[in-house]
Amino acid sequence: MNKKSWISLLLAFLMLTGSVSCSSGGTNEEKSTAPDGASQQTAASPEIAAEIADEEPAGNGRSDVKDSLPDDLDFGGATIHFYTRGGDRDTLMEFQAEELNGEVVNDAVYTRNLSVQERLNLVMDLILAPVNIHGGTNDQIRKSVSAGSNDYDLLGNGMYSMMSLTMENILLPMNELPYLDFEAPWYNHAFLETTNLNGHNYTVMGEVGQTMISGAFVMFFNRTMFDTFYNGEINLYQIVNEGEWTIDKMTSLCEPVYQDANGDGEANEGDIFGHYFTNTDTLGADAFYGAARIDYLKKGDDGVWFFNAGCERMISFTEKMHKLLFEGTNTLRLPYNNDDIMNTMKADQTIFVTRMLSGIDLLRDMESDFGILPMPKFDTAQEKYAEYVHDASSSFSIPVTEPDPAMAAAFLEAMSAESFRTVTTAYFETALKAKYSRDSETSQMLDIIVDGIYLDLSYIFGGSVNSPIGKIRGLLASAGNCENAASSLAKQEKVTMKSLEKLLEKYESIK
């Protein structure tokens, strides 16, 4: 697919679909895997910004898309305090770039940061919390706002965590602020629509947060292992393109792969399997479930929400997953999680493994060739491939303590627009497609993946509606849970619907 086609798909994605990602159901508050947070204050250099901008590849189409900010907007050298996460690779790469280092994404972020500061005549004080992609910063935000402090002008937080703050009257309604243009292509329109329950949006997702794309769940596969086992006679990319890449198809491809490589007579680590899946509650459940397009909560034609988790499609989904995960020797299940999820594939012990798209960074030193596929569909009748995004991908808000909401809004708009024009292209088109992927087919798969990203109310507001995705993770954590899915889910209806009722009432009461 050419560049023009990719742009069209990404624009469609941003305007019509959503992207969220995965935390552990709200239990990872302020989890850190990096050094302590830091404050980074950087003055703009127009000479450097202009020089870097001149190096932008021509013809990507995005650089010509204008924003609606006034040309003479000037904040007189004021400092904007931007509090966001920076506890791991995924979160750091969104905003931290201390200098040019030749890495295409870093340099694009650096250029964006400088350009926006110069354009608005302000200085960004980037305050990085030591919180990783799985966590949120709610405690510190609540502490600051409750003290009446104006420590932060703009907030970046895990989407899952930020959604709970939207109901606490500590975030400004953003629809009424000047300079924010929610019709612009750099905002995720589906997210705005789904989270607007009372005529207001208190947080936004969009291209300013790179995790909106890097957090998409995908299926990595060890291409060397696959081609060796199937003698190059089966083309996975062709299967995807023909609409045949389903859970059942994946299971059938995994079934004959097992080999007792370590010779101990047991199916365990060190042997060869078709698939790896973490043996506890895992984000892998989010990936398969999201790809199956099942509505846990569904709005009827009359506009009334109802509990849909016991539907036939859900029960069939758990049966398909039981076969893949627990029957025979299709899947190796170990406690490896997060970055370690990729270990068995890198070691040529498993062919398929699910992780966020950002996992491609972990494969730079992988000796065997690898590829990337969309998550498998529920069945061939499903119209298109679908992908959830990690429910702790970044969203952005302005606290009620902000003394100059117009400045914060202008900064967010300018950062979002410039990210659309430069950073996304650097990350998606250059880094992912040209630098990291190892074949042209993977580039095409990335287009399909981005086009399939979506979100729904039960995933976004999970903690407020009895954690639907937590229930799905629990079902896929053991064979017994999976087998008892129907009865387990039926028990959730009353409390889930009561929680939803309270959520809707809460939003109606927010001023």
Other Cβ atoms closer than 10 A to 484: 13
Classify burial at 465, counting beta carbons within 10 Å of its beta carbon; exposed 0-12, middle 13-18, buried 19 or more: buried
**What pLDDT is attached to residue 10?**
46
Own/partner long-range contacts of 2-5 (Cβ < 8 Å, ≥24 apart): 3/59, 3/60, 3/61, 3/429, 4/61, 5/447
pLDDT at 62: 86
Residue 89: which H helix or E strand, with range?
A: helix 89-95
Is residue 26 within 8 A of residue 467, CB to CB? The reply is yes
Q: How many helices (H) and strands (E) does the chain have?
A: 22, 12
| Structure tokens that stand for 84 in this block | 């966001």
- 214 token code pair: 């890097």
DSSP designation for 465: G
* Fold for the domain defined by 217-386+455-509: D-Maltodextrin-Binding Protein; domain 2 (3.40.190)
Question: One fold for both 3-21+28-214+391-436 and 217-386+455-509?
Answer: yes
What DSSP designation does 463 have?
Answer: G
Q: Which residues pair with 219 in a beta bridge?
A: 354, 373
Q: Which amino acid is located at 87 in the chain? A: G
Q: What burial class does residue 68 get, using C-beta atoms within 10 Å of its C-beta: 0-12 exposed, 13-18 middle, 19+ buried?
A: exposed
- Exposed, middle or buried, 396 (CB in 10 Å: 0-12/13-18/19+)? buried
Q: What is the DSSP code (8-state) at residue 375? A: P
The residues, any chain, with a CB within 8 Å of residue 226's CB and separated by 6 or more, are 234, 236, 351
DSSP 15: H
Domain ranges in the chain are 3-21+28-214+391-436, 217-386+455-509
Beta bridge pairs of residue 399: 171
**pLDDT per residue as tens digits for the range 41-52:** 444 444 444 443
**What CATH code would you report for 3-21+28-214+391-436?**
3.40.190.10
| DSSP string across 339-360 | GGGGHHHHTTSEEEEEEEGGGG
Give the pLDDT confidence score for residue 35 in this predicted structure.
36
Alpha carbons 460 and 191: distance in angstroms, whole number: 9
Per-position DSSP letters for 200-267, written without gaps between them? --S-B-BTTSTHHHHTBEEEEEEHHHHHHHTTT---HHHHHHTT--BHHHHHHHHTTT-B-TT-SSS-
Three-class DSSP category at 274: strand
The total number of residues shown for the chain amounts to 511
Location of structure tokens 């798969």: 445
Three-state secondary structure string covering 405-435: HHHHHHHHHHHHHHHHHHHHHHHHHHHHHHH
Dihedral sign from CA coordinates of 245, 251, 256, 258: positive
Residues of the chain with pLDDT under 50: 1-59
CB atoms within 10 A of CB 386: 22
Note the pLDDT of residue 41. 42
Q: Hey, what are 59's tokens?
A: 């013809």
Residue 246: is it exposed, middle or buried by C-beta count within 10 angstroms (0-12/13-18/19+)? buried
Q: CA dist 208 to 30, 304, 411, Å?
A: 22, 33, 11
Nearest to 371 by CA among 282, 287, 429, 432: 432
Check the CA dihedral 326-328-329-330 and report its sign.
negative
The pLDDT value recorded for residue 22 is 37
Distance in angstroms (rounded) separating the CA atoms of residues 259 and 274 = 10
Is 116:414 a contact under the CB 8 Å cutoff? yes
Cα 379 to Cα 79, 316, 469, 500: the distances in Å are 53, 10, 21, 30
Bridge partners of 297, per DSSP, are: 307
Classify the C-alpha dihedral 443-445-447-453 as positive or negative.
negative
pLDDT of residue 60: 54
